[in-house]
């Protein structure tokens, strides 16, 4: 709008107010941005008071309010989303089955029908008007619409509100002065009727029509992607503000599609420190309170799946059943360990089982007992909270009146987020922006509470509630719009292209001008086709009308500013595909070039009105304007000045040193050389030495650092497993064999079962009976995985494996003259002394644990057996018992310490330093095959050396990342099943090859060798 146009608007306003500067005035404008620019211009010279800017519908609400309140038939109100949803639901329930009503069986179809009846309401379609050429499906639509209008009762549709306003004008109601700014024709007959009544009453004053002004300056930009397109747009704004002394409200950025541009523009403008308003439609169901309530109802319907429930509990300031803040991260860990999956019964059963196991682990350590008790309290609180939420949700969904529904949902919201006083006390920060976010969420909570309270009104107009209708009505009520995250009229204006219709700006930047986005591809409605729409009402949108509207909005946007910058992106980084310019973008390019222009021409064309960037780096190298300090820093770094930046920022300096050290592979603090452990850490680590922990260090010292020194662990989601956890499978096998063999134990002098006596069929039946008894409890505790079919196969395989293992044990005892004398033999546990191993330089190191099985032999020796119920590939290099082969390295370069340590513990319990001992892994999955060797003096010497290197390396802080052998199909051998695989860089192989040359790593390399030496 030009200066002359605004001067005409000012004159019209003065004329309408007839010299009274406080006369009530309503200015009809095409949109909010047009209202802002017009208000500021009209108020610039002499101020403005008692003037409201809005649409025809907003004016109608004011005019009709008193008229409707005095209606003798009773007060009437507007159709709300919840009222529309309930009326449509009742219409679907009472209508005859048709091609349209059956669509409501699907949630997406029901939503589509709901939007369609809303569109028919706004278009003022008469359900009784049936054109002769109407299609059968359109007839079904009208039948459903007629039933819907019947169930709507006295609620007013938008056209009916307009007609009520017109009636108010005819009745002579005291009216404010009105100025019609937008000179376009009214959208429908009801609007036209209202404006005609206003004009006849002398209350309507029109601003003269004006052709669109000529744009002074148009510039085109081709960016590599949408992210750089947005950054370039913000730089344009910054540059314009530096060159032209104008208020930020005189600048605008328009986008073709809200996703992803609205979010990115808000982020970049905030980073630049520029005040702005992003005209993004935000709804109650997108606020914290609305999202929390709807998710609670959805989770109730789905049985509270563990992962989704904990995500929900972590996404808001939730409260426990006792009203305390939710300890979400502790609940996440406990629920994973407990194996919770879904279903309230499963939640309680598995949390109770987990609590019993935790309570059974008594300890004399005060700190450990306190930590255990806190975890037990957390588990109880988690179960109570889920049950409380489930009870309230169920009460609301199964209520028999809408008043009870309203009260139930309010109680559910209070349980989730706390009482209003708690919400009012949501913490504030030192950031004004964050404070504003908190205030908006508090206001949204109030709006959600009001919407839930209003549900009680449905008792007067709607059928009794059902669980489905409650969920649908609540969802519809919470689709209401709420104020955005920024303040309208303060700062740079951001919105869709159509939002800038009627605006008058100094600069407008338009982003997202790509094919299929500007104009957007239009498709016919899947239910009510265009041919039927044209027959029913001229105000129902068709493909042609939507295209025409989009074109009109584009032309209006081009005329909205003195300077216009248009931009397009060559690639969509999200879908990884090439993009082409919008026809509108090419149209402007052709106008400026004076000839036909294609995408290829744009990349090669050189013109003052065109800027093309090959990449983000190219844009930073060529620009002289930076939107933020961060952007300037990146530009300096791109231009080779990163060390200059690092000299002023210790964090960047430290990060550069880390990156360069890791790239070179130099062993040091950034590649695993953390230095000698502090005394307090060393003492704690020394108390926890175990065979498995030291084996981890030999396999990959970095993994040992994360897991055993730093205490980081991957808490598996037990309830999400399809099959059985390998550890639980091993526990089951151990328990079955221990119970079976416990009746056949002997001592070192007398066998409980003669070595030559094979296990009988009765013994096998006894073993399988024990197995089935254990399996019943295994399944009851939820350890069998989620799928019965998978467990059935696993159970059959375990039965076969145990059967074969028992038969193999008969042969092994006969051949070797041995018999079991101990099961789950403790050392360093249950009052038994620790196993102490003296190391030449590190001194005594103690170990504790359990030995699965110890056998005595007729020649006075001992045999240690360690049952392995998992895969046997790890033990493929060990010789089979009785084969006569010797193990090449009984400790496997420090990665198999269990058998030698168990052998020493068994010798200390049942023999002497000279007692011969053998150690074997019993591979249950391979039918009880035993692999291993004798633990002689050479093996003990090799064990001592491995422990010396391992314990010394841990104490000295030697933790390089060793990925092991490269595996073309699965990456690196040591990383295949590592929980920390994603932490290590892709260049881990090169890093290890460099780090192993360090003198500090020499002893570790001597112990484990390299992949070339292995």
* pLDDT tens readout for residues 783-824: 777 777 888 888 898 889 899 989 999 998 898 899 999 999
Whether 770 has a pLDDT exceeding 60, the answer reads: yes
Tell me, what's the pLDDT at 1012? 47
Place 186 in a pLDDT band, splitting at 50, 70 and 90: low
Distance between CA atoms of 765 and 772, rounded to whole angstroms?
10
| 868 strand-pairing partners | 923
Whether 428 has a pLDDT exceeding 80, the answer reads: no
Q: What is the pLDDT of residues 197-248, one digit of tens each?
A: 888 888 887 777 655 555 578 999 999 999 999 999 999 999 999 998 888 8
Q: Three-class SS string for 335-360?
A: HHHHCCCCCHHHHHHHHHHHHHHHHH
Whether 839 has a pLDDT exceeding 60, the answer reads: yes
Distance between CA atoms of 221 and 20, rounded to whole angstroms?
49
Distance between CA atoms of 535 and 538, rounded to whole angstroms?
8
Closest CA to 647 of 633, 660, 663, 635: 633
Region 324-351 average pLDDT: 89
Tell me, what's the pLDDT at 73? 47
Whether 663 has a pLDDT exceeding 60, the answer reads: yes
Whether 416 has a pLDDT exceeding 80, the answer reads: yes
- If one compares 16 and 250, the residue with the highest pLDDT of the two is 250
Assigned token pair, 879: 């010789």
DSSP 839-886: ETTTEEEEE-EEEEEEEEETTS-EEEEEEE-S--GGGTTSPBTTS-PP
Place 67 in a pLDDT band, splitting at 50, 70 and 90: low
Q: What is the pLDDT of residues 115-140, one digit of tens each?
A: 999 999 999 998 888 888 899 999 99
Roughly what angle, to the nearest 10 degrees, separates helices 288-302 and 432-454? 60
Q: Three-class SS string for 152-192?
A: HCCCECHHHHHHHHHHHHHCCCCCCEEEECCCCCCCCHHHH
* Residue 684 half-sphere exposure toward CB, CA atoms < 13 A: 9
DSSP 388-404: HHHHHHHHHHT-SSHHH
**532 burial level (CB within 10 Å; 0-12, 13-18, 19+):** buried
Distance between CA atoms of 475 and 287, rounded to whole angstroms?
13
Whether 850 has a pLDDT exceeding 60, the answer reads: yes
Tell me, what's the pLDDT at 20? 80
Q: What is the pLDDT of residues 77-88, one digit of tens each?
A: 788 887 888 888
Residue 880 φ then ψ, to 5°:
-75, 140
H/E element, 562: strand 561-572
Region 768-776 average pLDDT: 91
Tell me, what's the pLDDT at 792? 86
- If one compares 78 and 626, the residue with the highest pLDDT of the two is 626
- 171-207 exposure pattern, b = at least 16 Cβ within 10 A, e = fewer: eebebbbbbbbbeeebbbebbebbbebbeeeebbbbb
The beta strands (E) that lie in 160-281 are given as 177-180, 204-206, 217-225, 251-255, 276-278
Whether 912 has a pLDDT exceeding 60, the answer reads: yes
What SS3 class is residue 425? coil
CB contact at 8 A, 53 and 42: no
The DSSP 8-state label assigned to residue 708 in this structure reads I
Distance between CA atoms of 1014 and 1007, rounded to whole angstroms?
11
CB contact at 8 A, 218 and 585: no
Long-range Cβ contacts of 265-269 (<8 Å, 24+ apart): 265/230, 265/233, 265/234, 265/494, 265/511, 266/485, 266/486, 266/494, 268/230, 268/231, 268/233, 268/234, 268/627, 269/234, 269/237, 269/492, 269/494
Lowest mean pLDDT segment, chosen from 103-117, 182-196, 344-358, 848-862: 182-196
Whether 905 has a pLDDT exceeding 70, the answer reads: yes
CB contact at 8 A, 739 and 328: no
**517 burial level (CB within 10 Å; 0-12, 13-18, 19+):** middle
Mean pLDDT value across the chain: 86
- If one compares 313 and 489, the residue with the highest pLDDT of the two is 313
Share above pLDDT 90 across residues of the chain, in percent, rounded to a whole number: 38
Region 93-113 average pLDDT: 85
Lowest mean pLDDT segment, chosen from 32-46, 580-594, 768-782: 32-46
H/E element, 990: helix 988-995
Q: Give all strands of the β-sheet with 25-28 in edge-to-edge order.
A: 51-54, 25-28, 177-180, 204-206
Tell me, what's the pLDDT at 1014? 44
Tell me, what's the pLDDT at 551? 93
Q: Are strands 849-857 and 610-612 parallel, antiparallel or unpaired?
A: unpaired
Tell me, what's the pLDDT at 769? 94
Tell me, what's the pLDDT at 31? 81
- If one compares 735 and 179, the residue with the highest pLDDT of the two is 735
Closest CA to 711 of 363, 327, 333: 333
Count CB atoms within 10 A of the CB of residue 436: 13
Tell me, what's the pLDDT at 25? 82
Tell me, what's the pLDDT at 987? 85
């Amino acid at each position: 709008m030009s200066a002359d146009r605004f001067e005409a608007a000012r004159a019209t306003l003065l004329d309408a107010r007839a010299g009274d500067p406080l006369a009530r005035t309503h200015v009809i404008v095409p949109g909010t941005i047009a209202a802002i620019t017009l208000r500021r211009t009209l108020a610039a010279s002499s101020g403005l008071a008692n003037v409201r800017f809005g649409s025809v519908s907003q004016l109608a609400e004011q005019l009709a309010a008193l008229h409707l309140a005095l209606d003798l038939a009773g007060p009437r109100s507007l159709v709300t989303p919840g009222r529309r949803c309930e009326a449509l639901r009742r219409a679907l329930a009472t209508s005859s089955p048709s091609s349209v009503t059956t669509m409501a069986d699907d949630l997406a179809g029901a939503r589509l029908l709901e939007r369609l009846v809303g569109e028919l309401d706004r278009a003022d379609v008469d359900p009784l008007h049936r054109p002769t050429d109407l299609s059968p499906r359109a007839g079904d639509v009208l039948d459903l619409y007629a039933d819907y209008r019947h169930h709507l009762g006295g609620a007013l549709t938008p056209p009916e509100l307009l007609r009520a306003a017109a009636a108010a004008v005819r009745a002579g109601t005291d009216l404010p002065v009105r100025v019609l700014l937008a000179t376009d024709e009214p959208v429908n007959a009801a609007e036209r009727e209202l404006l005609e009544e206003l004009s006849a009453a002398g209350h309507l004053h029109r601003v003269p029509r004006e052709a669109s002004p000529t744009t002074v300056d148009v510039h085109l930009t081709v960016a590599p992607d949408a992210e750089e397109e947005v950054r370039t747009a913000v730089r344009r704004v910054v540059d314009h503000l530096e060159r032209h002394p104008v208020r930020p409200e005189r600048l605008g950025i328009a986008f073709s599609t809200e996703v992803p541009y609205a979010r990115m523009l808000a982020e970049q403008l905030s980073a630049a420190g520029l005040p702005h308003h992003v005209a993004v439609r935000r709804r109650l169901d997108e606020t914290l309170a609305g999202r929390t309530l709807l998710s609670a109802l959805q989770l109730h319907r789905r049985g509270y799946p563990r992962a989704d429930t904990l995500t929900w509990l972590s996404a808001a300031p939730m409260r426990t059943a006792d009203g305390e803040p939710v300890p979400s991260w502790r609940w996440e860990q406990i629920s994973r360990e407990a194996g919770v999956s879904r279903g309230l019964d499963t939640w309680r059963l598995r949390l109770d089982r987990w609590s019993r196991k935790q309570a059974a682990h008594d300890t004399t350590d005060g700190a450990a007992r306190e930590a255990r008790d806190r975890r037990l309290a957390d588990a109880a609180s988690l179960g109570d909270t889920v049950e409380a939420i489930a009870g309230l949700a169920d009460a609301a969904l199964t209520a028999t009146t809408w008043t009870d529904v309203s009260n139930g949902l309010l109680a559910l919201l209070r349980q989730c987020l706390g009482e209003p006083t708690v919400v009012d006390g949501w913490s504030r920060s030192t950031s004004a922006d964050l404070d504003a976010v908190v205030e908006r969420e508090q206001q949204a909570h109030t709006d959600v509470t009001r919407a839930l309270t209003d549900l009680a009104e449905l008792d007067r107009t709607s059928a009794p509630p059902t669980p489905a209708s409650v969920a649908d009505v609540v969802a519809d009520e919470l689709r209401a719009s709420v104020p955005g995250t920024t303040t309208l009229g303060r700062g740079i204006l951001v919105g869709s292209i159509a939002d800038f219709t009627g605006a008058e700006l100094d600069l407008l930047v338009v982003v997202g001008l790509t094919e299929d986005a500007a104009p957007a591809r239009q498709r016919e409605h899947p239910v009510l086709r265009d041919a039927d729409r044209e027959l029913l009402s001229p105000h129902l949108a068709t493909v042609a009308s939507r295209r025409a509207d989009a074109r009109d909005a584009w032309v209006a946007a081009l005329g909205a500013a003195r300077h216009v910058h248009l931009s397009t992106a060559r690639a969509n980084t999200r879908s990884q595909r090439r993009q082409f310019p919008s026809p509108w973008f090419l149209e402007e390019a052709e106008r400026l070039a004076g000839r036909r222009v294609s995408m290829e021409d744009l990349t090669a064309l050189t013109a003052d009105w065109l800027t093309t960037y090959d990449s983000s780096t190219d844009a930073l190298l060529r620009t002289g304007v930076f939107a933020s300090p961060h952007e300037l820093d990146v530009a300096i770094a791109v231009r080779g000045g990163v060390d200059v930046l690092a000299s002023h920022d210790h964090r960047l300096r430290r990060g550069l040193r880390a990156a360069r050290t890791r790239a070179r592979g130099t062993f040091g603090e950034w590649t695993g050389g953390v230095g000698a452990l502090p005394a307090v850490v060393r003492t704690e680590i020394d108390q926890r030495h175990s065979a498995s922990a030291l084996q981890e260090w030999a396999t990959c010292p970095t993994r040992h650092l994360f897991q055993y020194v730093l205490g980081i662990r991957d808490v598996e989601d037990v309830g999400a497993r399809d099959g059985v956890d390998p550890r639980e499978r091993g526990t089951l096998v151990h328990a079955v064999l221990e119970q079976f063999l416990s009746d056949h134990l002997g001592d070192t002098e007398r066998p409980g079962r003669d070595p030559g006596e094979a296990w009988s069929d009765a013994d096998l039946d006894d073993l399988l009976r024990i197995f089935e008894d254990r399996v019943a409890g295994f399944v009851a505790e939820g350890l069998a995985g989620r799928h019965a079919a998978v467990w059935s196969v696993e159970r059959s395989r375990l039965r076969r494996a145990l059967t074969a293992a028992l038969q193999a044990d008969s042969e092994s005892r006969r051949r070797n003259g041995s018999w079991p004398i101990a099961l789950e033999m403790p050392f360093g546990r249950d009052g038994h002394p620790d196993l102490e191993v003296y190391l030449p330089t590190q001194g005594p190191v103690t170990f504790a644990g359990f030995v699965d099985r110890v056998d005595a032999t007729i020649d006075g020796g001992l045999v240690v057996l360690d049952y392995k119920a998992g895969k046997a590939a790890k033990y493929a290099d060990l010789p089979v018992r009785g084969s006569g082969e010797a193990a090449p390295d009984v400790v496997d370069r420090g990665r198999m310490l269990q058998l030698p340590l168990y052998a020493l513990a068994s010798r200390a319990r049942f023999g002497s330093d000279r007692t011969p001992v053998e150690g074997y892994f019993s591979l249950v999955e391979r039918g009880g095959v035993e692999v291993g060797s004798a633990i002689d003096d050479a093996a003990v010497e090799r064990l001592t050396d491995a422990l010396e290197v391992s314990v010394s390396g841990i104490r000295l802080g030697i933790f390089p990342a060793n990925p092991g052998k490269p595996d073309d199909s699965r990456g690196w051998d040591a990383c295949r099943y590592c929980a920390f695989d994603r932490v290590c860089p892709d260049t881990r192989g090169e890093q290890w090859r460099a780090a192993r040359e360090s003198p500090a790593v020499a002893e570790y390399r001597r112990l484990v060798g390299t992949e070339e030496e292995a």
